């Protein structure tokens, strides 16, 4: 900048000072991480908790030294040391992240950050990195105690390593949850819920974990697990669930940090489509094959339920693309078509759910067809028909939700209204026929066609009785699902228009600007 | 490089039933300070937020240095420094650490980052207070820090939303001087404020909006002329001011004559020829006029004349 002159700088020394070296190294770190570390060092909480942890570990060491019993003291020292670490990683670090995020949201600071080169993802990543740095520092404070427990032959190294891995996973997941809760403070109505959720969630979690570790139950369980054949399955399962929970918290937090007109939906939809390969992949890689027959249907049901929950959010969005998202639809027709189910908007949300359902049905059908024994869950004909019925019901209710959402204003509040009305509709469709039965017949004795909108009872009835009524229901439901097709086509058409507009813009840019008309000269 | 730095084109924005901005268009050139004036709820902040990429229009667009804020928000952000009306610094950071953090956030690295932080802090008069905690600053110092943060990435366009509100007179004068220096360095400044005399002193042009619509825009003098507003003239006579007052009362295009000691202030509605004639007649009457000047252009008059105080 021309008017702002740089001050004369001192000549560089041959050996840079440590602070300069740190400054140079920190250039490559996330700015949020650097700032959080600076603030933590200057603040009160971090030094106080470090001193406390140090004091507690000294007390434990003294107790261990005074009551030494060969073979038992080491286990006790480990349990006490790990129980000291738990509140730090499960409560202190996440609460620090929670408060830091709330500060970020005060008075539009986060807007100032988003005007810089930091994206919401970078802000959240910085928070998690800061949590991991604090975790390392707390572990290093308690590491002499953990090392002592090993030297006293209380625990072996793999137990310590796996415990620290669990602690790290817990810390990161809890911090992501805390940051996500704090980010909800953007919507003032959600702030009390966030405060209560974080306080109770982390508080109860910490007390339960400390109780389990301090009672010795944790180290026994880990020891038993390591000797069993399911160690890989359990550890990968825990880590996998933690990663998924962290990712989901991250996406939720990102949603609150972004403006309403930005694209919030696509990452969620991509996440949804990544779930089947991740879950089935985990099963193939880590789960012993003797569990597959039981696990596959359970995972398929979980995936279907997750899809329906995501579907509720997808079909209650605003219909049209925001002007900014519209401007960023890929110019390539093929890419735009591929992206269509992933782009925001309730019509495309319905399309997304349809594609996801088709994917699940295809996977289940393929596995069913290839499976040598078709006797359980989705492997059976009943299971496949039941699954199809469940998905059809989901289609009908999501279609109804999309219709109801269309009656509400095209605002974010309208989205929330739609998300409230859809479960309410399901509840009413289940309860009202039962109440009518009670009033007319005295009690709801058996299923009849009036309960057709009650998916739980209808599907259960199918399993118990079967029959032509159910086939009729299925056909009816499929027809109702087909009613959603025009909406899906409309969603696709909007993306096509956006893509064409992008192409026109690119063409206009590449064309040379018309030369100004030559002035008349003599 | 085009002279136009900011182009607001047919901007339209609704919030439910409230039509915040209606088909608003105006342009602004480099090195200009443009006052953005309007009653409360006129759509100033909405327009500024759209220009700063923090909101999107329902239709229309804003281009900063030829870059659309709608299509290329990231590119546009590199050219924009937005100073909102709120400032909340982080706890446990001093002034330089605060600036250093934002410099990192803007992607500045190594020596360049350090130099920029130092020079921006110096420019805003913060260097001597560099070790002070950013949370314990006075309002004036806080605004300087806020401005310093806004300047870190060397934006071409500064969008300042009510930057002078809550500042004491000295802080306002100092702040105004900073803005004038920035404009002299070639930066465009779009500034909204309710302190109209101050805007009138520093702005090269103004855009007056009401209920989301542009009422008038241009330089203050041009607007005065276009609106046929009276010009205030101040004269000083050496001797009998009452004689000059009596003379003025019977002259064409003259009204609101007020004498105060040797000074006489009056409103004049004619053009430059008429004013020349008036002065010649006065000298012909042997009135000893030693000063005869147009009073400072008055933005308040323009504002009151052009807006109707309608709320939405």
Query: Binning pLDDT at 50, 70 and 90, where does residue B230 land?
Result: low
- Does B305 contact chain A (CB < 8 Å)? no
Are residue B173 and residue B63 in the same domain, yes or no? yes
Are residue A349 and residue A328 in the same domain, yes or no? yes
Query: Binning pLDDT at 50, 70 and 90, where does residue A8 land?
Result: very low
Computed over every residue of chain A, the mean pLDDT equals: 83
Contact residues for A429 (Cβ-Cβ < 8 A; gap 6+): A453, A454
Q: What is the pLDDT of residue A392?
A: 81
User: pLDDT at residue A71 above 90?
Assistant: no
Query: Binning pLDDT at 50, 70 and 90, where does residue A470 land?
Result: low
| CA–CA dist B124, B137 (Å, integer) | 14
Domain enclosing residue B84, as ranges: 4-91+137-218
A6 contacts in chain B (CB < 8 Å): 115-116, 118-119
Are residue B56 and residue B192 in the same domain, yes or no? yes
User: pLDDT at residue A12 above 50?
Assistant: no
User: pLDDT at residue B111 above 70?
Assistant: yes
Residue at which a domain ends, from B218, B253, B284: B218
| CA–CA dist B24, A275 (Å, integer) | 46
Cα–Cα nearest to B191, from B17, B67, B51? B51
Are residue A352 and residue A386 in the same domain, yes or no? yes
In a domain, residue B98? The reply is no
Are residue A391 and residue A452 in the same domain, yes or no? yes
| CA–CA dist A131, A305 (Å, integer) | 32
Are residue A50 and residue A150 in the same domain, yes or no? yes
Nearest chain A Cα to B184, which residue? A3
Provide the phi-psi class of A377: left if phi over 0, else alpha when psi is between -120 and 50, else beta.
left
- What is the average pLDDT across A389-411? 88
Are residue A299 and residue A411 in the same domain, yes or no? yes
- Does B185 contact chain A (CB < 8 Å)? yes
| CA–CA dist A299, A276 (Å, integer) | 9
- Contact status, residue B36 vs residue B215, Cβ threshold 8 Å: no
DSSP letter (8 states) at residue A9: P
Q: What is the pLDDT of residue A5?
A: 45
Cα dihedral A25, A27, A32, A38, rounded to 10, equals 50
Cα–Cα nearest to A158, from A212, A240, A219? A219
- What is the average pLDDT across B247-270? 85
Query: Binning pLDDT at 50, 70 and 90, where does residue A156 land?
Result: confident
Residue in B59, B90, B185 nearest the CB of A39: B90
Strand order in the sheet with B231-237: B254-260, B263-268, B231-237, B289-294
User: pLDDT at residue A265 above 80?
Assistant: yes
- What is the average pLDDT across B127-143? 85
Are residue B74 and residue B176 in the same domain, yes or no? yes
Residue at which a domain ends, from A212, A241, A258: A258
- Contact status, residue B53 vs residue B77, Cβ threshold 8 Å: yes
Residue in A23, A259, A327 nearest the CB of B71: A327
pLDDT tens-digit readout, A23-45:
677 788 999 999 998 888 888 88
Q: Tell me the pairing of strands B80-83 and B157-161.
A: parallel
Query: Binning pLDDT at 50, 70 and 90, where does residue A375 land?
Result: very low
Q: Calculate the CA A213 to chain-centre distance.
A: 27
Are residue B235 and residue B288 in the same domain, yes or no? yes
In a domain, residue B198? The reply is yes
A103 contacts in chain B (CB < 8 Å): 88, 90-91
- Tell whether ipTM is more than 0.85: no
| CA–CA dist A182, A176 (Å, integer) | 10
Domain enclosing residue A203, as ranges: 28-224+232-258
With tokens 């070790």, the residue in question is B131
In a domain, residue B117? The reply is no
Q: Give the phi and the psi of residue A44 in degrees, each rounded to 5.
A: -100, -35
For position B294, which CATH number holds? 3.30.70.100
DSSP letter (8 states) at residue B287: -
Cα–Cα nearest to A130, from A240, A237, A43? A43
Q: Cβ atoms within 10 A of the Cβ of A192, count?
A: 10
Nearest chain B Cα to A116, which residue? B106
Residue B304, helix vs strand vs coil: helix
**Cross-chain residue pair B105–A6, CB shorter than 8 Å:** no
| CA–CA dist B143, B95 (Å, integer) | 12
Q: What is the pLDDT of residue A193?
A: 80
Are residue A243 and residue A276 in the same domain, yes or no? no
Cα–Cα nearest to A82, from A143, A130, A136? A143
Cα–Cα nearest to A127, from A156, A105, A151? A105
Task: Provide, rounded to the nearest whole percent, the portion of chain B with pLDDT above 90.
Answer: 23
In a domain, residue B114? The reply is no
- What is the average pLDDT across A109-129? 89
Number of domains in chain A: 2
pLDDT tens-digit readout, B32-80:
899 998 888 888 999 999 999 998 898 899 999 989 998 888 899 999 9
pLDDT tens-digit readout, A419-435:
999 999 999 999 998 89
In a domain, residue A15? The reply is no
Among B56, B58, B186, most A C-beta atoms within 10 A, so best to mutate, is: B56
**Rounded (10°) angle between helices A346-370 and A292-314:** 170
- What is the average pLDDT across A3-11? 42
**Cross-chain residue pair B153–A39, CB shorter than 8 Å:** no
| CA–CA dist B32, B188 (Å, integer) | 5
**Cross-chain residue pair A116–B56, CB shorter than 8 Å:** no
| CA–CA dist A50, A70 (Å, integer) | 30
Are residue B192 and residue B262 in the same domain, yes or no? no
User: pLDDT at residue A107 above 50?
Assistant: yes
In a domain, residue B115? The reply is no
Are residue A242 and residue A273 in the same domain, yes or no? no
Are residue A374 and residue A237 in the same domain, yes or no? no
Instruction: Please state which of the ranges A71-85, A333-347, B73-87 shows the lowest mean pLDDT.
Output: A71-85
Residue A324, min C-alpha distance to chain B (Å) = 6
H or E stretch at A36: helix A31-42
Longest pairwise C-alpha distance within chain B: 73
Are residue B236 and residue B289 in the same domain, yes or no? yes
Are residue A338 and residue A476 in the same domain, yes or no? yes
Q: What is the pLDDT of residue A521?
A: 40
Strands (E), chain B: 4-15, 18-29, 33-37, 59-64, 67-68, 80-83, 157-161, 188-192, 205-210, 213-218, 231-237, 254-260, 263-268, 289-294
Are residue A179 and residue A296 in the same domain, yes or no? no
In a domain, residue A18? The reply is no
In a domain, residue B111? The reply is no
Are residue B27 and residue B164 in the same domain, yes or no? yes
Number of domains in chain B: 2
- DSSP-assigned letters across all residues of A111-151: HHHHHTT--HHHHHHHHHHHHHHHHHHHHHHHHHHHHHHHH
User: pLDDT at residue A345 above 50?
Assistant: yes
Task: Provide the b/e sequence for A436-463 (b: ≥16 CB within 10 Å).
Answer: ebeeeeeebeebeeebbbbbebbbebbe
C-alpha count within 13 angstroms, C-beta hemisphere, residue A302: 12
Q: How many residues does chain A have?
A: 522
- What is the average pLDDT across B250-266? 85
Q: What is the pLDDT of residue A170?
A: 92
Highest mean pLDDT among A340-349, A482-491, B106-115: A340-349
Residue B132, helix vs strand vs coil: coil
Instruction: Give CA separation, A322 vs A476, B23, B57, B256, in Å.
Output: 35, 19, 9, 55
Are residue A238 and residue A131 in the same domain, yes or no? yes
Are residue A352 and residue A466 in the same domain, yes or no? yes
Q: Which two tokens stand for residue B205?
A: 């042009």
For position B69, which CATH number holds? 3.40.50.300
Highest mean pLDDT among A376-380, A489-493, B13-17: A489-493
């Amino acid at each position: 900048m021309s008017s702002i002159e740089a001050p004369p700088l001192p000549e560089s020394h041959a050996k840079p000072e440590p602070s300069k070296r740190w400054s140079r190294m920190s250039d490559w770190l996330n700015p949020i991480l650097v700032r959080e570390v600076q603030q933590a060092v200057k603040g009160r909480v971090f030094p106080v908790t470090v001193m406390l942890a140090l004091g507690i570990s000294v007390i434990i060491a003294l107790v261990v030294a005074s009551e030494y019993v060969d073979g038992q003291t080491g286990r006790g020292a480990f349990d006490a040391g790990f129980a000291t670490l738990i509140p730090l990683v499960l409560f202190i670090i996440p609460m620090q992240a929670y408060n830091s995020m709330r500060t970020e949201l005060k008075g539009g600071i986060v807007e100032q950050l988003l005007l810089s080169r930091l994206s919401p993802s970078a802000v959240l990543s910085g928070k998690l990195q800061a949590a991991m740095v604090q975790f390392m520092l707390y572990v290093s404070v308690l590491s002499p105690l953990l090392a002592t427990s090993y030297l006293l032959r209380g625990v072996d190294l793999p137990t310590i390593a796996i415990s620290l891995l669990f602690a790290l996973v817990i810390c990161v997941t809890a911090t992501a949850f805390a940051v996500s809760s704090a980010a909800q403070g953007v919507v003032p109505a959600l702030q009390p819920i966030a405060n209560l959720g974080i306080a109770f969630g982390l508080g109860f979690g910490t007390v339960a974990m400390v109780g389990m570790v301090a009672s010795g139950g944790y180290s026994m369980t880990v020891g038993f697990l390591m000797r069993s054949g399911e160690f890989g399955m359990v550890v990968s399962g825990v880590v996998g669930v933690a990663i998924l929970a962290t990712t989901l918290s991250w996406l939720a937090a990102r949603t609150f940090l972004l403006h309403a007109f930005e694209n919030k939906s696509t990452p969620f939809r991509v996440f949804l489509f990544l779930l089947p390969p991740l879950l089935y992949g985990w099963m193939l890689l880590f789960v012993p094959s003797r569990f597959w027959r039981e696990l596959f249907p359970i995972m398929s049901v979980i995936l279907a339920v997750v899809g329906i929950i995501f579907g509720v959010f997808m079909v209650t969005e605003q219909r049209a693309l925001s002007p900014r998202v519209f401007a960023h639809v890929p110019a390539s027709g093929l890419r735009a078509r591929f992206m269509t189910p992933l782009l925001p908007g309730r019509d495309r949300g319905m399309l997304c759910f349809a594609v996801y359902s088709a994917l699940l049905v295809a996977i289940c059908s393929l596995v069913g067809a290839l499976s040598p024994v078709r006797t359980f869950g989705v492997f059976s004909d009943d299971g496949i028909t039941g699954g199809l019925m469940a998905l059809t019901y989901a289609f009908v209710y999501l279609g109804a939700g999309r219709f109801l959402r269309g009656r509400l204003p095209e605002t974010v509040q309208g989205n929330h209204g739609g998300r409230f009305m859809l479960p309410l509709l399901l509840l009413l469709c289940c309860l009202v026929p039962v109440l009518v039965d009670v009033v007319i017949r005295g009690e709801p004795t058996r299923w009849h066609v009036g309960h057709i909108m009650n998916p739980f009872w209808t599907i259960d009835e199918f399993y118990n009785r079967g029959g032509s009524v159910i086939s009729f229901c299925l056909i009816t439901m499929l027809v109702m699902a087909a009613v959603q097709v025009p909406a899906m086509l409309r969603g696709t058409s909007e993306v096509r228009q956006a893509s064409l507009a992008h192409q026109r813009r690119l063409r206009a840019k590449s064309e040379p600007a018309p030369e100004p008309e030559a002035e008349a000269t003599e | 490089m085009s002279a136009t730095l900011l182009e607001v084109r047919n901007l339209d924005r609704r919030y439910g039933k409230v039509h915040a901005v209606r088909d608003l268009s105006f342009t602004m050139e480099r090195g200009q300070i443009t006052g953005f004036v309007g009653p409360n709820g006129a759509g100033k902040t909405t327009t500024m937020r759209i220009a700063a990429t923090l909101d999107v229009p329902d239709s229309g667009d804003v281009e900063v240095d030829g870059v659309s804020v709608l299509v290329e928000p990231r590119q546009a952000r590199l050219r924009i420094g937005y100073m909102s009306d709120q400032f909340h610094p982080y706890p446990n950071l001093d002034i330089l650490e605060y600036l250093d953090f934002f410099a990192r956030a803007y992607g500045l690295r190594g020596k360049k980052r350090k130099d920029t932080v130092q020079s921006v802090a110096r420019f805003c008069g913060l260097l001597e207070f560099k070790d002070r905690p950013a949370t314990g600053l006075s309002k004036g110092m806080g605004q300087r820090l806020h401005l310093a943060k806004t300047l870190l990435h060397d934006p071409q366009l500064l969008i300042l939303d009510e930057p002078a509100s809550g500042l004491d007179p000295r802080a306002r004068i100092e702040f105004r001087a900073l803005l004038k220096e920035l404009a002299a360095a070639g930066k465009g400044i779009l500034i909204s404020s309710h302190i109209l005399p101050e805007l009138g002193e520093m702005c090269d042009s103004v855009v007056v909006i009401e209920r989301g619509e542009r009422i008038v825009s241009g330089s203050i003098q041009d607007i005065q002329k276009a609106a046929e507003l009276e010009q205030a003239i101040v004269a000083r006579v050496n001797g009998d001011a009452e004689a000059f007052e009596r003379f003025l009362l019977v002259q064409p295009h003259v009204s609101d004559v007020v004498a105060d000691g040797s000074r006489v202030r009056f409103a004049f509605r004619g053009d430059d020829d008429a004013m020349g004639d008036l002065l010649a007649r006065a000298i012909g009457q042997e009135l000893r006029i030693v000063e005869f000047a147009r009073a400072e252009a008055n933005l308040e008059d323009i504002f009151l004349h052009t807006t109707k105080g309608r709320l939405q």
